[in-house]
Amino acid sequence: MKKQLLIIITCFLLLCLFMASCEKGSTDVTTTDSDESTTNTSSDGTHSHVYGEWITLADATCQQTGTKVCVCSCGNQKTETIEKKPCHYANDVCTMCHTKKPTTFVPDYTEGEENIVGSDNANFGFTAQSDYLYYANQNKIEKIKRNGSAHQSVYTVSSGSLCNINVIGDWIYFYCKDSTTAKSYIAKVKTDGSGFEKLVSSINVWEMLVVNNIVYYTTVTQNWEYTEYAKDIFPLYSLSVNGGTPKQIQDGAVSYLTADGTYLYYSHTTNNDKTTVCRIKHSNAKKDILLQNITTVNLTLENSKLYFFVENIYEPETFTLASISVNGGGYTTYGNMFCDPNLFHVIGDKAYFIGSAPLSENNPEPEYGLTEYSLTTKKFKLIREGEYVEFVGVFDLLIFQPTVFGKFNTIEIYTPSTGAFKKLKVS
């Protein structure tokens, strides 16, 4: 009995000791709501801001940033900027800004095959680069591979007609002739149709040739009005391919622009109606006169020589084919021919023109049409018969123009190296 009583007393004492220990270790604790918006006040009465969740005031888009705010229960608030969003595309159009999805630019040429000179003819709407032909079809720039594949409409203008097509690397340069000079302009666009940019406006262009980073062009008044022909008609200008202020580098009567990587070559009619053949260096526009006091027509560059026709004042429509070195001198004649001197191109050692061998007792009715003339053998060869054949010489090709005006559905090319004709469907 005594033993049981001792156990009870011992347990009672231990319980009292444990309760005393709990009371001694306790402190006063102020609890807060788990919600962050609850005000936090310290024991000394100092307030610390506790902000609630962020609230969006203005959504961010791909065009502009947004705004969000969070507020403390005391009324204080914080504001932050929401970064712009990337464009979100559906069917290749952004649902926010409605712009077309950009595509990765793919050049039309293998590296090292891009043009230095934009065209082989400064007055027509055809040119070539690497495997592609580029041409103006009314208000459109189109391109197609030489084998007839990959036809594409590259760029369309809303008003006017296009001509003077030049291609240098990734860019197509062109002249848009509108209803008035004030609406006409020179522009550029990438070969995939992107990056359109006007270079100069309110201009009436006749010939245009792009070389490296320079646009050369001649102008004419809208009504062909002039005081002095040899000064007022066809003055020559240069312009950066990035735009800016044009610079006049030669007074009027400049024609038949052609070029290599170092010089621009052209004919200049003087006040006595004689023609001088000139060149200007791209780097400094210093002019050299290569040939003078002779009436020349047309000018084409091949194998470091300038080829042209010389008028025969005693036999109308009969011209002498001649050449000089690109440095001047070395004047050489190759023979006479009955021809239209404005349709003329030289590829290798062959000259191509619309005409025939000259009339003679042995040749009273020569075959007329696209004619090939060997500069070495002096022999004529009819390539295509026809009085109204028209073609454009484009580097190593001849392109037969389907029509000068209006939309066309086919073009035809002739490759002198193979002697083959090929029709390309472009509709």
Nearest by Cα to 94 from 84, 82, 81, 107: 84
Which class for 229: exposed (0-12), middle (13-18), buried (19 or more C-beta within 10 A)?
Answer: middle
Angstrom distance (rounded) from CA 99 to CA 421: 43
The lowest-confidence range among 83-92, 226-235, 364-373 is 226-235
pLDDT per residue as tens digits for the range 357-404: 987 777 778 889 999 999 999 999 999 998 778 899 999 999 997 765
Tell me the Ramachandran region of residue 19: left when phi exceeds 0, alpha when psi lies from -120 to 50, beta otherwise.
alpha
- Residue 86's pLDDT band (cuts 50, 70, 90): very high
> Could you tell me the pTM of the whole model?
0.76
Q: If DSSP codes are grouped into helix, strand and coil, which group holds residue 345?
A: strand
Q: What is the mean pLDDT of residues 41-64?
A: 86
- Tokens 């932050």 map to which residue? 80
Query: Would you say residue 80 has pLDDT above 60?
Result: yes
pLDDT per residue as tens digits for the range 104-145: 888 999 888 999 999 998 988 999 999 999 999 999 999 999
Higher pLDDT, 406 or 193: 193
pLDDT score recorded for residue 34: 37
